[in-house]
Amino acid sequence: MIEEQPIVKVGMAEMGTIRSHGLIRTTGLGSCVGLTLFDPELHLAGLAHVMLPSSDIAKEGSLNLAKYADTAIPALYQQLLQMGASARRLVAKMAGGAQMFAFAGGNDTMRIGPRNVESCKACLDGLGIPLLGEDTGGNFGRTIELDCQTGILFIRSVQMGIKEL
């Protein structure tokens, strides 16, 4: 490679942004959801690695906004607006929300993946951000990468190989 592309890595329950060129990535999504917001004109992208559907259940002292779908999406949205993004242009893509283990008669914790996905969708709806693509559910892990030049979301999984959204 002639030019090294910058890569921003986002860990579990974290979020990050990238501008102009390069990739923003999060690895090993299971029941967590990797939610991306993208402004195609500024080539500005944000990614949150959401772990739990709702901050209602939070018992932590200082709330980690990136961890909960209902707080991460508004926080990421605000951050991108502050960086100059236009609310009208922002679009979303997401992946993850799997059920890694199949149990007979699963309780609520078992369904955390699908609940994360539902909660993300509800938040996007609330903010009026269109969801352009999703690769969610199943019982396998995913690594995702958003190219902030093109807005293409690359999804890698052991079972399915590489997919583009």
Task: Catalogue the active-site residues.
Answer: 32
Contacts of 138 (CB under 8 A, 6+ apart): 98, 99
Among 6, 7, 58, 162, binds another protein (CB under 8 A): 58
Q: Is 21 in the site for another protein (CB under 8 A)?
A: no
* Concatenated DSSP letters of 113-130: HHHHHHHHHHHHHHHT--
Q: Is 2 in the site for another protein (CB under 8 A)?
A: no
> Which residue stretch of 27-35, 71-79, 83-91, 145-153 sits at the interface with another protein (rule: CB under 8 A)?
27-35
Q: Are 53 and 91 within 8 A, CB to CB?
A: no
Q: Considering the complex, what minimum distance in angstroms separates the CB of residue 154 from another protein?
A: 13
Closer CB to another protein, 40 or 138, in the complex: 138
